[in-house]
């Protein structure tokens, strides 16, 4: 399964987001140390009621608990923007 599709399936299943987006930033990271081809750089935005009452750290831990298995390969870097509905 394509990594973007895998992330999508997990986000939809685990967070039932009001809105979400996944941006592949890989092209901006070509030549990056450790991943010269630049692949695997993503920005993930999730707006979900699951983050209500959670600190920023708690929200990030929730996401990493379900996506962490993708790091460091195929995902090299994952920027998170998380908000409660």
CB proximity list for 45: less than 8 A, separation 6 or greater: 19, 20, 21, 22, 23, 80, 81, 82, 83
Q: What is the number of domains present in the chain?
A: 1
Q: Write out the residue range of the structural domain in which residue 11 sits.
A: 3-30+37-83
73, 40 Cβ separation under 8 angstroms: yes
The alpha-helical segments, DSSP class H, found in the chain are 3-15, 56-67
Assign residue 77 the CATH number of its domain: 3.30.300.90
CA atoms of 37 and 85, how far apart (whole Å):
36
pLDDT tens for the 85 residues of the chain, in order: 699 999 999 999 999 999 999 999 876 655 566 555 546 889 999 999 999 999 999 999 999 999 999 999 999 889 999 999 9
pTM of the model as a whole: 0.87
């Amino acid at each position: 399964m394509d990594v973007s599709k895998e992330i999508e399936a997990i986000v939809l299943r685990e967070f039932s987001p009001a809105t979400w987006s996944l941006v592949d930033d890989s092209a901006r990271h070509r030549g990056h140390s450790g991943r010269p081809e630049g692949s695997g750089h993503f920005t993930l935005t999730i707006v979900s009621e699951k983050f209500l009452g959670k600190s920023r750290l708690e929200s990030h831990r929730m996401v990493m608990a379900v996506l962490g298995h993708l790091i460091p390969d195929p995902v090299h870097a994952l920027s998170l923007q998380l908000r409660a509905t």
